[in-house]
Amino acid sequence: MRDGDGLARKLSSIVGEDQVLSDGAATAFAVDGVSPRLAVRPGTQQDVEAVVAACTAAGAAMAPWGGGTAMGLGNPPSRLDVVVLLDRLSRIVEFDHANLNVSAEAGVRLARLQEVLGEKGEFLPLDPAEADAVTVGGLVESNASGPGRLLYGSARDWVLGLRVVLPSGERIRCGGKVIKNVSGYDMNKLFIGSLGSMGIVTEATFKLLPLPAARATVVGVFRQVPQMASVVARALESFLVPEALEALDPAALSSAETGLGRVSPAGYGLAVSLAGSREAVERQVRDFTKLFKENDAIATDTLGDADAGPAWRAIRNVHAPFKASGVVVKVAVPIGKTLDLFASAGDLGRRGFTGAVSAHAGSGIVRAGYRIAAGAPLEPLRDALAALRGEAEAAEGSLVLESAPAALKRTLDAWGRVRDGFAVARRLKAELDPGGLMNPGRFVGGI
């Protein structure tokens, strides 16, 4: 970066002096231990344009920051001069409930958005952990999803349009607000899940769904993984359409239950969320309860709407404790392999790496958190994770570090092996961010 003081003055002139943090105050926004020189809080999308243009002119490397929930994702930044805080972009721009879509600025928190949508009987079917903190921008740039991914997919499936500030400071629209749109390239895909490496998302338009008339959750507890796996396999080949099939290892089950003041026998939990008309939900509760029994569940439970909300919040957040004092990884594999990797991730526990493991059992996603004791050497855990990654990659999948000590990331790449598309990705990066200023170093292959 050239002329840091000059940039600080320029940014102050754009957003006001009180919205620019420097030095000591800015270190609160360090990314993997790399402190920015400045942190800036633009209040409008136009301000983001001006801020980005000023940073680019000064050759300053930028990182967007929304709710901070995905700041552990990716490799440590190769450079970082300015963190662009997006929490003041908190307007719900347009809620067109008759057409089932909403446009919201990047800083809007998911929980608040859902509240507003809920008032008109609609919802955005994305349910990542930490909904109170996750922002619209973060949802998009991390392609977030949660247990409901089984029925609804990920952010990729619900974004209709985006507004993105490119490194040049120009803001472009991608997509629109209509459900079907093939006018030019699907530019949304360039920014969904690319961790701000191509530009800063300032607004997103999402497709919505009507809230289901009824919901219920059934939980089965099993002694062994294969019994649970049999329930999952039979459910997937049936006509049933559960919203979520979430597998929990004994630690995850007990941690979710502790928060709820419930206790079930020690074992593996399978939480199943069902949504739809009352008749369809009742039928599925019956069918799943029967499937649980046929597969030797040692306990089953049915939760109504009131209990289910807190239960799912607890289930989604079982890894949260390990973000601060450990490591959280996401394994993605073909659906049929999910519970194999779930079991392997759990095996690390037997080798002394304690934590909690859960899986979107019908969607190919396993998430595991492991504790790292203060002062403990990182090499054994690193080697165990590398082996787990090997297993995932052998199954055509991946293992990604969602959060880990920077020291661990320096010897274990956050994303794993470089894939076929990397040459194209690098050229896209060079076209859109020729100066390499958007979140440099963090995304796949260090772009």
Partner 1 sequence: MRTPSLAHDLRQVVGEANVLDTGVNLRLYGYDAYLEERRPDAVVFVRTTDEVAGVVKACNKWGAPFVARGGGTNLSGGTVPVKGGVVIEMIRMNKLLEVDTKNLRARVQPGMFNLEFGNALAPLGYQYLPDPASQKAATLGGNVAENSGGPHCFKYGVTTNHVLGLTVVLPDGTIARFGGKAPDEPGIDLTGILVGSEGTLGICTEIVTKIQRLPEGVKTLLAIYDSIEAGSETVSAIVSAGMVPATLEMMDQLVIQAVEASIKCGFPLDCATVLIIEIDGLKDDLEQQAEAIADLCRKNGAREIRVAKNDAERAALWAGRRGAFGAVARITPSYLVCDGSVPRTELPKILKKVAEVGKKYDLKIPNVFHAGDGNLHPLILFDWRDAAQKERVMKAGMEILELCVAVGGTISGEHGVGIEKMDAMHLVFSEKEIDAQRKVKHAFDPEDVANPGKIFPAAREVAHA
Radius of gyration of the chain (CA): 22
Residue 92 interacting with partner 1 (CB under 8 A): no
Residue 182 interacting with partner 1 (CB under 8 A): yes
Closest distance of CB 209 from partner 1, Å: 7
Residue 226 interacting with partner 1 (CB under 8 A): no
Q: Which is nearer to partner 1, 141 or 301 (CB)?
A: 141
Closest distance of CB 299 from partner 1, Å: 26
Report 383-402 residues binding partner 1 (CB under 8 A).
395-398, 400
**390: its two tokens:** 């090997």
Q: How far is CA 417 from CA 209, 287, 358, 394, 396, in A?
A: 37, 41, 24, 11, 11
Closest distance of CB 283 from partner 1, Å: 4
- Pairwise CA distance, residues 307 & 300, whole Å: 15
Q: Single out the segment in contact with partner 1 by CB under 8 A; choices: 21-29, 133-141, 375-383, 416-424.
A: 416-424
Report 422-441 residues binding partner 1 (CB under 8 A).
422-425, 427-428, 430-432
Residue 279 interacting with partner 1 (CB under 8 A): yes
Which residue in 26, 62, 166, 221 binds partner 1 (CB under 8 A)? 166
Report 41-60 residues binding partner 1 (CB under 8 A).
none
Residue 351 interacting with partner 1 (CB under 8 A): no
Q: Which residue's entry shows tokens 């247990």?
A: 147
Which residue in 25, 28, 111, 241 binds partner 1 (CB under 8 A)? 241
Closest distance of CB 424 from partner 1, Å: 6
Residue 421 interacting with partner 1 (CB under 8 A): yes
32 close to 401: Cβ distance less than 8 angstroms: no
Buried b (16+ CB within 10 A) or exposed e, 212-244: bebbbbbbbbbeebebbbbbbbebeeeebebbb
64 close to 430: Cβ distance less than 8 angstroms: no
Closest distance of CB 5 from partner 1, Å: 31
Q: Single out the segment in contact with partner 1 by CB under 8 A; choices: 5-13, 167-175, 307-315, 319-327.
A: 167-175
Q: At what angle do helices 250-260 and 305-316 cross, to 10 degrees?
A: 130
Strands 365-371 and 355-360: antiparallel
Residue 230 interacting with partner 1 (CB under 8 A): no
Q: How far is CA 77 from CA 14, 80, 195, in A?
A: 26, 6, 12
**Phi, psi for residue 379 in degrees, rounded to 5:** -60, -45
- Pairwise CA distance, residues 319 & 73, whole Å: 14
Residue 99 interacting with partner 1 (CB under 8 A): yes
Residue 143 interacting with partner 1 (CB under 8 A): yes
Residue 224 interacting with partner 1 (CB under 8 A): no
- Pairwise CA distance, residues 313 & 322, whole Å: 16
Report 108-127 residues binding partner 1 (CB under 8 A).
121
276 close to 216: Cβ distance less than 8 angstroms: no
Which residue in 225, 240, 260, 298 binds partner 1 (CB under 8 A)? 240
300 close to 293: Cβ distance less than 8 angstroms: yes
Q: Single out the segment in contact with partner 1 by CB under 8 A; choices: 9-17, 190-198, 253-261, 315-323.
A: 190-198
Residue 236 interacting with partner 1 (CB under 8 A): yes
Q: Single out the segment in contact with partner 1 by CB under 8 A; choices: 22-30, 63-71, 76-84, 179-187.
A: 179-187
SS3 444: helix
Residue 169 interacting with partner 1 (CB under 8 A): no
Residue 189 interacting with partner 1 (CB under 8 A): yes
- Pairwise CA distance, residues 418 & 413, whole Å: 10
Closest distance of CB 239 from partner 1, Å: 4
* Closest CA relative to residue 197, chosen from 164, 228, 171: 164
Question: CB-side exposure of 278: number of CA atoms within 13 Å?
Answer: 0
Q: Single out the segment in contact with partner 1 by CB under 8 A; choices: 18-26, 252-260, 272-280, 380-388.
A: 272-280
Q: Which is nearer to partner 1, 13 or 277 (CB)?
A: 277
